[in-house]
Structure 1
Amino acid sequence: MLRITIEPVWRFHKEESPQSIVVMLGVLSEIGKTGKITSAANDAHLSYRHVWNLIEQWSDFFGVPLVETRRGKGSRLTAFGEKLVWAGERMQARLGPQLENLAQELATEIKPFLQQRPSVIRVHASHGFAVAKLRELLDREPGIGVDLRYVSSQYSLASLAQGACDLSGLHLPRGELRAQGILACREWLDPRHDRVISFVTREMGLMVKRGNPLDIRALPDLADGKARFVNRDHDSGTRLLFDQLLASHGLDETRINGAQQIEFTHAAVAAYVASGMADACFGVEAAARQFGLDFIRVLTEDYFFVCRQSFLDTEPMRRVIELMKGREFHEAIAALPGYQPAETGSVHTVREFLDRVDTGA
Structure 2
Amino acid sequence: MTYKFQARLRSEWVLEKPGGETFALGDILRLLSAIDTLGHIAGACRESGLSYRHGWGLLRRAEKEFDTSLLETSRRQGTRLTPFAQHLLWANRRVDARLAPTLQSMSSELQEELDSLYPESRPRLRLHASHGFAVEGLIQQAGQHDTLSIELRYRTAIEALASLNRGECDLAGFQVPTGEFEQPILAHYNPWLDTDRHCLVYLAQRDTGMFVHPDNPKGIHTIADLVKPDVRFVNRQTGSSTRLLVGLMLSRLGIDTAQVVGYDSSEFTHMAIAAHVASGMADVGIGVETAAWRCGLAFIPLAKERYFFAVNRDSLETPQMQQLLALLTGNAYRDYVAGLAGYESRNMGQVLALEEAFPLGATKMKVA
Q: Normalization by structure 2: what TM-score?
A: 0.91
Matched residues in 2 for 1:194 and 1:2: separation? Answer: 34
How do 1:191-340 residues align onto structure 2 when only pairs under 5 Å count? 191-340=195-344
Q: Deviations over 1:337-359 (max 9, x none)?
A: 11102421111223333327669
Question: In the alignment, residue 176 of structure 2 is paired with which amino acid?
Answer: L
Checking the alignment, whether the CA contact within 8 Å between 2:205 and 2:307 is kept in structure 1 is: yes
The structure 2 residue matched to 1:141, chosen from 138, 145, 151, is 145
Give the match for residue 99 of structure 2: 95
Conserved 8 A contact 1:179-1:358: no
**Residue number in structure 1 paired with 2:193:** 189
Structure 1 residue 115: deviation in Å? Answer: 4.7
Partner of residue 7, structure 1: 10
CA contact (8 A) 1:66 1:77 kept: yes
The answer for the alignment partner of 1:104 in structure 2 is 108
1:130 lines up with 2:126 in the alignment:
no
Contact 2:195–2:362 at 8 Å: present in 1 too? Answer: no
C-alpha separation in 2, matches of 1:85 and 1:189: 43
Contact kept in structure 2, 1:274 and 1:291, CA below 8 Å: yes
1:135 Cα deviation after fit: 1.6
**Partner letter of residue 65 of structure 2?**
F
Change beyond 3 A, Cα 1:175–1:143: same
For 1:41 and 1:356, locate their aligned partners in 2 and report how far apart those are by CA, in whole Å. Answer: 57
For 1:319 and 1:38, the matched residues in 2 are separated by 45
Q: Give secondary structure in 2 for the equivalent of 1:180.
A: helix
Cα distance between partner residues in 1 of 2:23 and 2:195? 58
CA contact (8 A) 1:196 1:347 kept: yes
Pair 1:350-2:354 in alignment: yes
CA distance in 2, matches of 1:211, 1:67: 25
Partner deviation per Cα, 1:34-63 (whole Å, 9 max, x = no partner): 123333333433322112111111111111
Q: Secondary structure at the match of 1:143?
A: coil
CA distance in 2, matches of 1:71, 1:237: 48
Query: Percent identity, aligned pairs only?
Result: 36
Structure-to-structure mapping, 1:55-70, within 5 angstroms: 55-70=59-74
Q: State the distance in 1 between where 2:22 and 2:71 align.
A: 20
Aligned match of 2:25: 23
Q: Which residue of 1 aligns with 2:170?
A: 166
> Partner of 2:149: helix, strand, or coil?
strand
SS in 1 for 2:358: helix
1:279 deviates by 0.4
- Whether the 8 Å CA contact 1:6–1:103 is kept in 2: the answer is yes
**Rounded Cα–Cα distance in structure 1 between residues aligned with 2:67 and 2:305:** 49
Query: 2:36·2:81 contact (CA, 8 Å) conserved in 1?
Result: yes
Per mean C-alpha deviation after superposition, the further-off stretch among 142-151 and 273-282 is 142-151
Give the match for residue 366 of structure 2.
none
Alignment pair present for 1:121 and 2:125: yes
Q: Separation in 1 of the partners of 2:360 and 2:35?
A: 49
Contact 2:205–2:345 under 8 Å retained in 1: yes
Supply the distance in 1 between the matched residues of 2:290 and 2:211 (Cα, whole angstroms). Answer: 10
Amino acid of the residue matched to residue 114 of structure 1? Y
Partner of 1:32: 36
Aligned-residue offset at 1:114? 2.6
Between the aligned partners of 2:266 and 2:326, the Cα distance in structure 1 is: 38
SS in structure 1 of the partner of residue 233 of structure 2: coil
Structure 2: where are the runs of 5+ without partners?
364-368
In terms of mean alpha carbon deviation, does 246-255 or 346-355 score higher?
346-355
Equivalent residue for 1:86?
90
Q: State the AA in 2 paired with 1:177.
A: F
- Cα 1:73–1:115 change in 2 (3 A) is farther
Q: Which structure 1 segments of 5+ residues have no match?
A: none
**Secondary structure, aligned partner of 2:204:** strand
Letter in 2 for 1:323: L
- The answer (yes or no) to whether the contact 2:156–2:241 under 8 Å persists in 1 is yes
Mapped contact 2:34–2:48 kept (Cα < 8 A): no
**TM-score by structure 1 length?**
0.93
| Aligned residue identity for 1:273 | V
Give secondary structure in 2 for the equivalent of 1:262.
coil
User: Residue 302 of structure 2 aligns to a residue in which SS?
Assistant: strand
Is the CA contact 2:354–2:362 (under 8 Å) kept in the aligned structure 1? no
- What SS does structure 2 have at the residue aligned with 1:170? strand
Superposition CA RMSD, Å: 2.0
> What is the aligned length?
358
Q: 1:77 to 1:303 in 2, by over 3 A?
A: same
